[in-house]
Amino acid sequence: MSDSELMNNGSLSLCAEFTLVAFSSLAELQLVLFFVFLAIYLFTVGGNLLIICVIWTAPSLHTPMYFFLVNLSFLEMCYISSVVPQMLVHLLVQHKTISVRGCAAQMYVFTILGLTECCLLAAMAYDRFVAICYPLHYTLRMGPSVCLKLAGASWATGTVVESVQTAWIFTLPFCGTGKIQHFFCDIMPVVKLACVDTSRNEIVLFIVSLIFIMSPCVFILCSYVRILVSILRMPSASGRHKAFSTCSSHILVVSLFYGTALFTYLQPKSSHTPDTDKATALMYTVVTPALNPVIYTLRNKEVKEAFRKVMERKLLRQMD
């Protein structure tokens, strides 16, 4: 980093710009990685957009479960778009820099969407819990106003909590080379650049992560324990199979999302290494959003049937 990119503050040189190391060690594979990640990105955005359009045009899917799925699909498009486009640019250029403000903006958007997804997955678990454990009260407990409140609370929680957390992180002074050992501005790689003791900050970040990541996770686990008990009490095998099939897609998504999130954000700073950080980050920023459209279409008969009907109507209009 050149002297013009540093701001002098007494004996410290504060970073005005960061360098994302990303995949610099794989110089010969940069172009290959560009096309691989571009294909995954286009597939993810296209797949989630398709889910939204199918649900929007199919009256049979205008139910609480698919209302939350629309929210999740929209969130996943924003989630992957907060990271991958910049990563694609950096795979093609030599100087992989980002301003401190740009880094803060990326972390702000990324963390808000991440925490919002935690809350949305919990809301989806509650929807399945009511549908299976209290089917006679489902329309009352999961009316339109309730769904809107749950979705609104999810977005509000993510926005408020992560706005405060990100603003607090960027009150730290960053100095030195300004090299972030990552492909985007994730929390721990950025905190490592602080030129002050961050042990208290890390404890607070850990507690915040524990509360706002683990609370929805515990709620989801408790919901599925109750769901499992209710399914096992059903008299018919076909009823048990049908009830479980409505939850299987959500269980897969929760497992993928929380598996990587818990591994990343609930381990101490000393356990983080650049390679493990990048590997797990690829899972929750690229792989998981790409798998969600596959999980919710290939494993969901209602979505597949609605998509078939939409395509049939489109073909009939073309023939007319």
**Following CA atoms 262, 266, 272, 275 in sequence, which dihedral angle do they give, to the nearest 10 degrees?**
10
Angstrom CA distances, 277 to 92, 126, 282, 284, stand at: 22, 31, 9, 11
Query: What is the rounded CA–CA span in Å between residue 292 and residue 48?
Result: 8
pLDDT digits (tens, 9 = 90+) for 67-102: 999 999 999 999 999 999 999 999 988 888 899 899
Angstrom CA distances, 29 to 24, 25, 230, 311, 313, stand at: 9, 9, 51, 39, 44
pLDDT digits (tens, 9 = 90+) for 2-26: 433 444 444 556 777 888 887 877 7
In this structure, what token pair is assigned to residue 39?
């294909």
Helix (H, G, I), strand (E, B) or coil at 2: coil
pTM: predicted TM-score of the whole model, two decimal places = 0.86
Query: What is the rounded CA–CA span in Å between residue 118 and residue 162?
Result: 13
In this structure, which amino acid lies at residue 215?
Answer: S
In this structure, what token pair is assigned to residue 151?
């979705």
Superfamily of domain covering 17-315: Rhodopsin 7-helix transmembrane proteins (1.20.1070.10)
* Average pLDDT of the residues in 288-298: 83
* Average pLDDT of the residues in 53-57: 88
266: confidence class by pLDDT, cuts 50, 70, 90: low
Crossing angle of helices 30-57/64-81, nearest 10°?
A: 160
Query: What is the rounded CA–CA span in Å between residue 134 and residue 136?
Result: 6
At 185, phi and psi to the nearest 5?
A: -85, 75
Length of the chain: 320
Only one residue has tokens 């649900």, namely 55
8 A C-beta contact, residue 10 and residue 171: no
Only one residue has tokens 């809350």, namely 119
Count of other CB atoms within 10 angstroms of residue 71: 21
Query: What is the rounded CA–CA span in Å between residue 193 and residue 216?
Result: 30
pLDDT digits (tens, 9 = 90+) for 100-136: 899 999 999 999 999 999 999 999 999 999 999 998 8
Query: What is the rounded CA–CA span in Å between residue 22 and residue 96?
Result: 8
